[in-house]
Chains A and B, each alone.
Chain A
C-alpha cells in the first residue's frame, strides 16, 4: 500500500472527493495556484480548474460565509482557514449560521461544509500559530468536530466529512503533517513513510465520524487523547511501563462515549490529555462524562494533562506543551492513587 504524509493524505482526500462529486469546491487563502502554505491543495487547481479550486481574499468570515451560501445553493464547499488561530473572524458565521441553518429553517436549507484548519503547537508557532480551539466548537450544537492523528485517518475522515450532510470543523494537527510526534523534540522526526499509519490506500474510503479507536490496549488506566497527544500518550506509556489503554477519539463531536465508557469501566482509571488550555477545555467535558458514566468503576480521580491557562508562548514551547514526561507523571499518580 502506498505511504503518504498527512499532507498528501489530506490532498488525496480532496482530490478523490472532487473527482467523485463536481459539487465539491475547494478555496481559501493561497489555496489555489500556490497549493496552500502547507501544500495541502497542491495541484488541485491545475487538475480541476479555477472554478473548483481557487484563491480567496484574506477574510475568514468571507470564506466561511461564502461557503455557507454555496452550500445553501447545493454545492459542497471544503474551505481552508490558514491557521486555526485565525478562525475567530469566521466564528459568527460558523456558530450563528453554519451550525444552525438546518435547525432554524427546519431542513429547508442545509450546510454541508467542511472548514479545514491546521491546529496545535509543538512547532515554535508562538501565540497565533499554535492554538487548539476545539472546545470553542464542541460547545456549539449543530457542528461536528474532527481531529485526525495520522495519514490513514486524515484521508478517511476528511472524505467522510466532505460527504457528511452537516458542517464539520476539521482540525489538522500541523505538528503531524510530516510525521508522528511524541513530544521528544530533541530527537529527529520519523517521517510517515516509516510508520504503518502512513499507509494510505488509493481511491475512495472513509473513516466514519463519531467513532473512536483504541491505539494501545491496556488494563491499568484509560488515556483519552486526540491529535498529537496520541503519540505523546504512547511514549508516556512506554517510558513509564504503565499498561495504559490509549483511545484516539478522532471525532470530538459527536463523541464515541461507548468506547470511552467500556474502557474506563475496565481500567477504573482515566487520564485525559490535550494541548488546549485546561479551564473549560474539551477535557472538562470528557472528565464530566466519565464521572457521570463510570462513577462506580472509578478507583482514582480523573486527571487532566493539558496546556497551561496561558496564551501559547514562544520561547517556553516545551514547558507549555504537555509532553511525555508530564503525562507520564500523571499516569503514575493515577495508577498509584
Chain B
C-alpha cells in the first residue's frame, strides 16, 4: 500500500477576498428555458438532475422562454414589479432610519426581492409561511400594511408585538406569516409540523418553510427533511442560497455536496434549483411545488440561487470579507431590472413609467413612515408600556410574575 503521508486539514475558501477581482466563472448558469418542466406527480428519481441545474425563464433579451414561462398576466407581473420595488424602497428607508438612530437594527433584502415577493403569489389564503428574517416580501406582496411593519421596527406604541421583539421579527397569522425567531432554522421543522397538522386535520392548506444557505447546517434543517419525507408533509422547503452567511461563504455550509438542492435527494424529496433573481421562474417553481403539496404528493425542496447584495445587517460591513463590487459581477443580475426589462420587452412598461413608479412608491413609503413615526420611534415619542413586558408570558399571569410586576411598580 502506498504511503498516504500525513493528514491535511481542509477548510474551504471563497474564490476571492477583498481587493481581489470578483469571479463567478465557476457558477454554471444554464440557458433560460433549457430546463424541462416535469409533471407534478413525477417520480423524484426521474428529476434528480433538476437539483444540479437552474430553472430560468427570462433570457438576456428580457424574453420569457421555455416550459416554465407563461403563467402570469401583464397585470400580475406589473404587480410583482411593484411589490419588489416597494420592498427595496422600504428597505432603503428603514436602513436609513436605523442610521438616524430611530431604531436599533435593520436587515435588507437587496437583490433577493424576487424570492419572497414571487413566492407569496403562488400560495393561497390560509397557507402558512415559516419565514426567516429575510422574507418580508411575503408581507409586502400579501398587502400587509407597511405602517404596521414600521411600527414593529420602531417598537413604538402601535407596535403589534408590544416592543418585545427585535426589529423585523414580524408576526402575522392573518397574513400567513409565522412569528420570526432569532434562533436559526428552528422554524424549518415547525413548518413541517404545521403541514403535518393540516394533513392530520384533512385540511387543504399547505406550509412553506424558509431557510438560508448558512442555516442549512443547523440540525433542525436535517430533522425537517426527515419528518417531511417520512410523513409526506404538504410543505415547500425553501432554501435561499444568497452565497453568504454573514461573513461565511456558502461553501462552508454546503461542503462537498454539489448544491443545497441536492441535500433533498437523499431524503427522496424532489428538489429543484431556480434562478432566484428571475421573478417568473421563482413564481413558476413555487407554484409547481405548492401544487404538489396541495395534491397530496408531499414535500418539495427548492433552492433559490441569488446573491446578498447588501450587508448582512445594519451591524455588518461586508467589505471586510468580500470584494466591494462582487454583486455587480453576479451573473444572475438584479431581479427588479430583469423584470422591468421583461415588461418593457412585453410592451407594457417603459423607463419613464418605471421612474415615475419609483417616485410614487417612495412617496407611499415616506407617508407610511410619517404615520408610523407619529406613534413614536425607539428612543422618542410613544412607546409600549413597561406593563406590557409582563403580559403574554403565559395565557394567565402566574403569581410570581404578578409579584414581579408589582415590584417593578408598573
Binding site for B on A (CB under 8 A): 25, 51-52, 56-57, 59, 61-62, 65-70, 72-75, 77, 89, 92-93, 96-97, 100-110, 141-142, 144, 164-166, 210, 254-255, 257-258
Contacts and interface: CB of A to CB of B under 8 A. Distances in A.
B227 A70 contact: no
Given A61-B219, A65-B189, A142 B394 contact: yes
Contacts of B165: 104
Given A66-B189, A72-B194, A106-B161, 20 more contacts: A51-B199, A51-B200, A57-B227, A61-B219, A62-B223, A65-B188, A65-B223, A69-B189, A69-B190, A69-B195, A69-B207, A72-B193, A73-B193, A73-B198, A92-B220, A97-B181, A102-B393, A104-B181, A106-B160, A255-B400
Interface stretch (B170-178, B293-301, B366-374): B170-178
Q: Which 7 A-B pairs have the closest CB atoms?
A: A69-B193, A66-B193, A62-B223, A65-B189, A254-B398, A69-B190, A73-B197
A89 B219 contact: yes
Given A25-B200, A61-B219, A62-B226, A107 B195 contact: no
Contacts of A141: 393
B201 A73 contact: yes
A101 B179 contact: yes
7 contacts: A51-B199, A62-B189, A70-B200, A74-B197, A106-B161, A108-B179, A257-B399
B259 interface: no
Interface string B184-220: 0010111111111111110000010000000000011
A105 B197 contact: no
B196 A69 contact: yes
B387 to A, nearest CB: 13
Contact of A75 (B183, B188, B201, B207): B201
Contacts of B162: 106
B57 to A, nearest CB: 32
B169 interface: yes
Nearest to A72: B194
Contacts of A89: 219
Contacts of B355: none
Nearest to B192: A66
A11 B263 CA distance: 39
A69 B393 CA distance: 19
Contacts of A65: 186, 188-190, 192-193, 220, 223-224
A57 B196 CA distance: 14
A104 B169 contact: yes
Nearest to A143: B394
Contacts, number: 146
A258 B399 CA distance: 10
Nearest to B172: A108
A57 B233 CA distance: 14
B345 interface: no
Nearest to A164: B395
B353 interface: no
B196 A110 contact: no
A109 B171 contact: yes
B169 A70 contact: no
B130 interface: yes
Contacts of B280: none
B392 interface: yes
A282 to B, nearest CB: 14
Contacts of A166: 394-395
Nearest to A49: B200
Contacts of A255: 400
B128 interface: yes
A181 to B, nearest CB: 31
B130 A69 contact: yes
B164 interface: yes
Contacts of A61: 189, 219-220, 223
A105 B192 contact: no
A141 B397 CA distance: 11
A72 to B, nearest CB: 6
Contact of A92 (B183, B188, B393): B183
A162 to B, nearest CB: 14
A70 B196 contact: yes
Given A69-B197, A73-B194, A57 B226 contact: yes
A97 B178 CA distance: 12
B319 interface: no
Contacts of A108: 160, 171-173, 179
A70 B400 contact: no
B313 interface: no
A72 B186 CA distance: 14
B197 A75 contact: yes
Given A69-B189, A69-B192, A166-B394, A104 B226 contact: no
Contacts of B193: 65-70, 72-73, 77
A19 B294 CA distance: 29
B375 to A, nearest CB: 16
A97 B186 contact: yes
A62 B227 contact: yes
Contacts of A107: 392
B356 interface: no
Contacts of B130: 69
